[in-house]
Structure 1
Amino acid sequence: MFDGDNAITTLNPTTEPALGCPSGPEPPTAAAAAADPRAFVQQDRASGLSLELLVRGARCAGCLRKIETGVAALPGVSTARLNLTTGRLSVTWQDDRIDPRTIVQRVIDLGYQAQPFDPSKAQAVIDQEGRHLLICMAVAAFAAMNIMMFSVPIWSAHFNGEMEEGTRTMFHWISACIALPTAAYAGMPFFKSAWNALKKGRANMDVPISLGVLLASSLSVVETVRGGEHAYFDAVAMLLFFLLIGRYLDHALRQKARQAARDLLALQAVTASRLEPDGTAVSVAVSEIRPGDHVIILPGDRIPVDGTILEGVSEADFSLLTGETAPVALGLGQKVRAGALNLSGRLVLGASARSDDSFLAEIARLVEMGEQSKSIYVRWADKAAKLYVPVVHAAAFLTAVTWLLLGAEPRIAILNACAVLIITCPCALGLAVPAVQVVASGRLFKRGILLKSGDALERLAEIDFIAFDKTGVLTLGQLRLSGEEAIPKGALAQSALLARASRHPLARAIARAAGPGPAIENAREVPGCGVEGQIDGLRARLGRASWVGVEDAQSEETELYFAIQGQAPVRFCFEDTLRPDAIQTIQALKARGFQPIILSGDRNGAVARAALATGIETYWGELTPFEKAAYLDGLKAQGRRVLMVGDGLNDAPALAKAFVSIAPGTAADASQSAADLVFQGEQLGAVLEAIEVARAAKKRVMENFWFAALYNFIAAPIAMLGLVTPFIAAIAMSSSSIIVTLNALRLASDRRTGS
């Protein structure tokens, strides 16, 4: 059924979520019908009928397989594709007799919530979850600080005996008034997850956490009522605070994958000017463009869908799509891709695909697939924590039973069992990785490197192969005039008069080389050819060789020609400058055992020159985004762990598919979002610095793991023997977390990288 926000829910989900999902789908709630999914069905000549739903509660690969398989099994359904990062389920079918409500109900029966997909509402749901976790964490931190004001005097009184029972009890009641509402609110993410797991007959990490919080709170209230010496409200607040830090970091990491796809699709035009049969131009949403429609593309517009040029000539900037720095001439019959920037002339495009099926949309899907495949990477802390639930439950239960058999009263048995749950809390284990990540990210940030993915350091420390894009990575990505000494005297200044009147990238390079100055008035730019005007009463042209009058000009280099009427043409060549330390960085990487390669979409000649200059033996040019991604898939199949360094939109799928990825700060927004790290400035040495810090971070993480294991190996038996109270257990638990954090801080003071 649908509620007021179009959310589809049911009273009786019949199927459990997939095993392995950390917290499972949120329980659907009853609601009154207020919308009909049939209103959101779209019809297309090629794919038939389609419906897009926002699915809530799917959190792992098991959920994805379960939903896709379940929906695809419906009679008549052609495809069912779920994107975990955005929560969007796309379903297509041919038979118009299928009721869309059947599809919705199938998702509900699988135990998930669904509603017609609305990007703004989908993002609102995600943002709301993040805000809730952040508020819970803030509440727990505030409560812990305030409770400590009353706990410290009680602790002090244990040594000097100066606090009377009435004062101590009053302090306990004040702490209770702070801790109990805090536990009820800040513990809700864990309580909900544990309850959902228990309802399905299984246990997850949140079950012992919830038990520890509830038992510590209950025993503290009992002790306060009976005027006991010990209450453990401080342990409750501190426990929740530490655990919420890890939960919020995990949520923040998921946001990165969603942002990459949003940035990619943001490059697609929102509206397009469609030519109607009567010749009039109508502005429509890009989503309404269908194959066969005619679309007008003006200079400065991005091409909205894939298609073929039907009218006009121009030049386009494909650098974000292919990495090629030189503009590409467009003419009649030429095929173009969505996302390219039209530079000079008016074009009429014959659409060959919908916006959802465009080259740009396919790149976005590749990025999403890469991020989803990366999400199944199981971090070391998660692997170690798998043993936590059964071992701790068994230890706590065994402790309680043993003490009861030994004749202890139930309060003592439960107190000791609670101490086991608290002292073995996985805080140190949970902080082993995040604490190092925080310190390492701070160290990298000081060097202009932004760490965007929490487990990127783990993966970066394990790489054994490095692939570089050329344009904007090994080079600065900005064409400059080369061989100025060979240009005839005065030709540069004269050509700049025309160049300043054009927006063409090569013309801008000439203008930069010549410096500030005037431009010719009434200069005329000819789409696909160049710019012309009058200099001292003579016709002057700056542009393509054939247009200027040069016959049979063939070169692997990027070039323009300048000619004044009656004079010989002058040739201008351009090159993309290497980063200042590119050669030094490549040599340093080779010294560490790496053999870098180049995967570029630029022309083979330009790639070969960059490879020769930097000393890279293996290189590939003129690659499409899909070929780059396929190459990385091949390396992955060989067992290689690849670092991809790229900046263009054409690199985004490869960045997402790579074992780990880095992008410069000048990269396209989508590439920065898909990358795990982003470095600022012109120094390529940031890549080497990141690798060294990652290796040092791995060493600190392993030290933390060993300490956490040793701590639990010693602390658990002591608690089972009844030698510690929950109060001491809370102190021990907090101390272990502090030690782990202090060890992580050593990373910030390491003088020698990799120490």
Structure 2
Amino acid sequence: MQHDRATGLSLELLVRGARCAGCLAKIESGVMALPSVSTARLNLTTGRLSVAWQDDRIDPRTIVQRVIDLGYQAQPFDPSKAQAVIDQEGRHLLICMAVAAFAAMNIMMFSVPIWSAHFNGEMEEGTRTMFHWISACIALPTAAYSGMPFFKSAWNALKKGRANMDVPISLGVLLASSLSVIETFRGGEHAYFDAVAMLLFFLLIGRYLDHALRQKARQAARDLLALQAVTASRLSTDGMATSVAISEIKPGDRLVIMPGDRIPVDGSILEGVSEADFSLLTGETAPIALGRGQAVRAGALNLSGRLVLQASARSDDSFLAEIARLVDMGEQGKSVYVRWADKAAKLYVPVVHTAAFLTAVTWLLLGAEPRVAILNACAVLIITCPCALGLAVPAVQVVASGRLFKRGILLKSGDALERLAEIDFIAFDKTGVLTLGQPQLRTHGGVSDEALTQAALLARASRHPLARAIARAAGPGPAIEAAHEVPGCGVEAQLGGLRARLGRASWVGVEHAQSEETELYFGVQGQDPVRFCFDDTLRSDTLHTIQSLKVRGFQPIILSGDRQGAVARVAEAAAIETYLGELTPFEKAAYLDDLKARGHRVLMVGDGLNDAPALAKAFVSMAPGTAADASQSAADLVFQGEQLGTVLEAIDVARAAKKRVMENFWFAALYNFVAAPIAMFGLVTPFIAAIAMSSSSIIVTLNALRLASNRNREG
């Protein structure tokens, strides 16, 4: 438990068992009903429940007990334990699925001869009964183990007086297993052990795919924390530097930041001059000069000089921590997206239970034996098992993600394709998205070959990104000896007995620099300085991709943290009419919130840390493979390579996938509409019901495989 400055007290719990938007709403509303609780926020992707309350009238154990009473498990939140729980759940589902598959294959070796004998009568009763017992020895332990994910979920729901989709699934498995054992004892002709194994196998496929796709969305928080230094050098009153954990840093502490270190907390410069790379935070490609009195933010990379920083905030209150909170909130909003399968499944539990109960009662009233009535009710439960419904989305996702993977696009979120198919607005970051993210010397800048050759002698002695661009433009060659890099200014050396400088305009001797340009100056003593201008090169297919998006009805915009002039040049080259520059991460996220309020469903494509909140806030998001780790984690899709056209490919595949999903849903609905009455009238046995159920799953899967063909490309 922690003291929260704004709300008094706070608690973070790891909640297990919450899988859908209904679980989220139930837990949050249940905890909020406790007295004095001001906020209760559950993140489904991480399982973290954050609770804040005003005073000490509530014992934290009361909050834990409330979550448990709602039917979920809760314990103090520990990121390492949370990840261990997630990994353990995934391994368990995979093992359960493998066991069910192994059992289904082996049981079929005994079921196929029984099926054949059913039509030609060549198998004796003793042989058939022996085959049934062998199948039972395989199926019953399999059902007990592989069915555990469903049994536990169903039991937890029933204990709290509610039902979920796992209740009829569990009931169908138990009834089919029990009736099969009874029939085997009686020497009956039919047993349904094969149906039990196949049923569990197909259901576990859907459950594991959902888990695996959701797990990929849990990386953003860890990646953001990785950008913060674990320790920092704090200066004592006598000037001694001591290494301390960043959690121990308080406002007012003095910290030493060496070249190559990331700034650990927000603060202001007390001593030293340097340059810092803020590109991950702001998107601005040019390093920023730092000097006494200048405010800096956590996460920026110190490039050249030693700095003494006075902390102005704790690590939890830093700019980087605020970005992490925005990402967390964006992921939560994304989690409440209700999938189409969940909507359809809400009707499944009451309708199927009612149909099975009425079937049993009706057959009993008609004078049938209890065994016949239960067999028909069991057939209803099995034939209407939501395998096709459960695979409608995952099957399409697997095929679509495979097709996207071949094009270098990684699908990270389970429902990303569904959302991508519905977008009506696209926002691009500039640096690293529309462009390659690497400054290039402007070829038409009027710089002579001699000036370029001389400047390159100094540029090769520097790590500055703009100096490296000059060195690349000049090609291989030597670096000048005894070059000296002045922190925050540039590189200085003797060239032919004269002082030569490459760096900031004022340092080289230029009084009026064009601030809208990304530039460096090269000056030799007694000569006029030479100005080098830099551009961020467009990806080779950016213009074609933007034009293709316009043909599809989109009007792309640019949201960038870079300078307005640099953004304007890229917008003109890419034929994008609307662009905004010099935006903070919070302004980008706020702009997307405004678009959402106006009814737009936005695709955000970004790569910097400053884009992470916007990527998480967007209706759906993409990031290039060169993006910051936190941005890749916050995005729903990641594309590799230098082609922006992969964004267009992803949209086309998403639209085709939506068609396949809707076709699967319609088929599943039609299948249940026809199959349920047939089972209720006693026209199928549980064995036939299992075959029908498996066939419906196969049809759904085959329909999904149509996505693998490029002929499905949308125009």
Q: Is 1:152 paired with 2:102?
A: no
What displacement does 1:309 show?
Answer: 1.2
Q: Does 1:185 align with 2:148?
A: no
Percentage of identical aligned residues: 89
* 2:507 pairs with 1:547: yes
| 1:636 equivalent in structure 2 | 596
Secondary structure in 1 matching 2:492: strand
Where 1:170 maps in the other structure, the secondary structure is helix
- Cα deviation, residue 162, structure 1: 2.0
Q: Which of residues 304, 311, 326 is equivalent to 1:366?
A: 326
Residues 256 and 674 in structure 1, CA contact (< 8 A), matched pair in contact too: no
Is 1:458 matched with 2:418?
Answer: yes
Matched-pair contact (CA < 8 Å) for 1:665–1:680:
yes
CA distance, structure 1, for counterparts of residue 669 and residue 646 of structure 2? 34
Spell out, residue by residue over 1:181-226, the C-alpha distance to the aligned partner (whole angstroms, 9 max, x if none).
1110111111111111111212111111001000000011111111
Question: Residue type of the partner of 1:695?
Answer: R
Equivalent residue runs for 1:159-178 within 5 Å: 159-178=119-138
- Residue 535 of structure 1 deviates from its aligned partner by 2.3
Task: Give the deviation of 1:172 after TM superposition.
Answer: 1.1
Q: Are the aligned partners of 1:85 and 1:368 in contact in 2 as well (CA < 8 Å)? A: no
Q: Residue 56 of structure 1: CA displacement? A: 3.7
In the alignment, the residues of structure 2 paired with residue 414 and residue 75 of structure 1 have an alpha-carbon distance, to the nearest angstrom, of: 48
Aligned residue in 2 for 1:22? none
**Aligned counterpart for 2:662 among listed residues 683, 697, 702:** 702
Change (3 A) 1:99 1:194: closer
Shift in Å at residue 676 of structure 1? 1.2
2:351 corresponds in structure 1 to 391
Q: Secondary structure at the match of 2:337?
A: coil
Higher RCO structure, 1 or 2 (CA under 8 Å, sep 6+): 2
Offset of 1:689 from its aligned partner? 1.0
Residue 211 in structure 1 maps to residue 163 in structure 2 = no
Alignment match, 2:259: 299
Query: Residue type matched to 2:514 in 1?
Result: Q
- Give the Cα–Cα distance (whole angstroms) in 1 for the partners of residues 580 and 284 of structure 2: 13
Give TM-score scaled by structure 1 length.
0.90
**Which residue identity lines up with residue 521 of structure 1 in the other structure?**
E
Post-superposition CA distance 1:18-63 (Å, at most 9, x none) = xxxxxxxxxxxxxxxxxxxxxxx56798987765443444555565
The separation in 2 between residues aligned to 1:229 and 1:74, in whole angstroms, is 58
State the Cα distance separating 1:78 from its structure 2 match.
7.3
Residue in structure 2 matched with residue 439 of structure 1 by the alignment: 399
C-alpha distance in structure 1 between counterparts of 2:44 and 2:283, whole Å: 29
User: 2:118 aligned with 1:123, yes or no?
Assistant: no
Q: Give the partner amino acid of 1:259.
A: Q
CA–CA distance in 2 between the matches of 1:434 and 1:77?
38
Q: CA–CA distance in 2 between the matches of 1:679 and 1:469?
A: 15
Q: Give the whole-Å Cα distance in 1 for the aligned partners of 2:595 and 2:180.
A: 57
Q: Deviations over 1:330-382 (max 9, x none)?
A: 11111111111111111111111111111111111111111111111111111
User: Deviation at 1:430?
Assistant: 1.2
Are the structure 2 counterparts of residues 614 and 706 from structure 1 closer, same or farther at C-alpha, using a change threshold of 3 Å?
same
1:515 matched residue in structure 2 = 475
Residue pair 1:300, 1:341 contacting (<8 A) in 2 also:
yes
Q: Distance in 2 between matches of 1:82 and 1:703?
A: 33
Q: 2:557 aligns with which of 597, 611, 622?
A: 597
Deviation at 1:507, TM superposition (A): 0.8
Question: 1:623 maps to what in 2?
Answer: 583
Deviations 1:648-670 (A, max 9, x none): 11111111111111111111111
Residue 54 of structure 1 is matched in structure 2 by 14
**How far, CA to CA, are the matches of 2:696 and 2:75 in structure 1?**
45
Q: CA deviation at 1:103?
A: 5.9
Take 1:681 and 1:553, find their aligned partners in 2: how far apart are those partners? Answer: 36
Partner residue of 2:698? 738
In the TM superposition, residue 517 of structure 1 has moved relative to its aligned partner by 2.0
Deviates more, 1:437-446 or 1:410-419: 437-446
CA contact (8 A) 1:318 1:341 kept: yes
Cα deviation, residue 106, structure 1: 6.0
**1:616-640 deviation line (CA, Å, top 9, x unaligned):** 1111111111111111111111111
Find the residue that maps to 2:532 and give its secondary structure: strand
Question: What CA distance in whole angstroms lies between the structure 2 residues aligned with 1:204 and 1:372?
Answer: 22
User: In the alignment, is residue 611 of structure 1 matched against residue 611 of structure 2?
Assistant: no
SS in 2 for 1:751: helix
Residues 554 and 86 of structure 1: CA distance in aligned 2, closer, same or farther (over 3 Å): same
C-alpha distance 159-449 of structure 1, shift in aligned 2 (>3 A): same
* Structure 2 residue aligned with 1:468: 428
Q: Take 1:357 and 1:491, find their aligned partners in 2: how far apart are those partners?
A: 48
Match of 1:169, SS?
A: helix
- Please tell me whether the aligned partners of residues 294 and 351 of structure 1 are also in contact (alpha carbons under 8 angstroms): yes
Cα offset, 1:567, TM superposition:
2.3
Q: What residue is the counterpart of 2:546 in the other structure?
A: 586
Cα distance in 2, alignment partners of residues 361 and 249 from structure 1? 32
Per the alignment, in what secondary structure is the counterpart of residue 198 of structure 2? Answer: helix
Q: Which residue of structure 1 aligns with residue 516 of structure 2?
A: 556
CA distance in 2 between partners of 1:109 and 1:424 (Å) = 31
Q: Measure the CA separation in 2 of the matches of 1:63 and 1:468.
A: 34
Q: Which residue of 1 aligns with 2:228?
A: 268
Contact kept in structure 2, 1:77 and 1:92, CA below 8 Å: yes
**What's the counterpart of residue 402 of structure 1?**
362
Look up the equivalent residue of 2:322 and give its one-letter code: E
Whole-Å Cα distance in 2 between the matches of residues 107 and 426 of structure 1? Answer: 29
Q: Say if 1:331 and 1:254 are closer, same or farther in 2 by CA, change over 3 A.
A: same
Stretches of structure 1 that go unaligned for 5 or more consecutive residues are 1-40
Tell me which residue corresponds to 2:103. Answer: 143
CA contact (8 A) 2:210 2:394 kept: no
With over 3 angstroms needed to count, the CA separation of the structure-2 counterparts of 1:502 and 1:84, relative to structure 1, is same
Amino acid at match of 1:602: D
Q: Give the whole-Å Cα distance in 2 for the aligned partners of 1:82 and 1:561.
A: 53
Distance in structure 1 (CA, Å) of the matches to 2:11 and 2:273: 39
Matching residue within 487, 494, 497 for 1:527 = 487
Give, as a single letter, the amino acid of the residue that structure 1 aligns with 2:551: A
Aligned to 2:188: 228
- After TM superposition, the score normalised by the length of structure 2 is 0.95
Distance 1:409 1:752, change over 3 A: closer
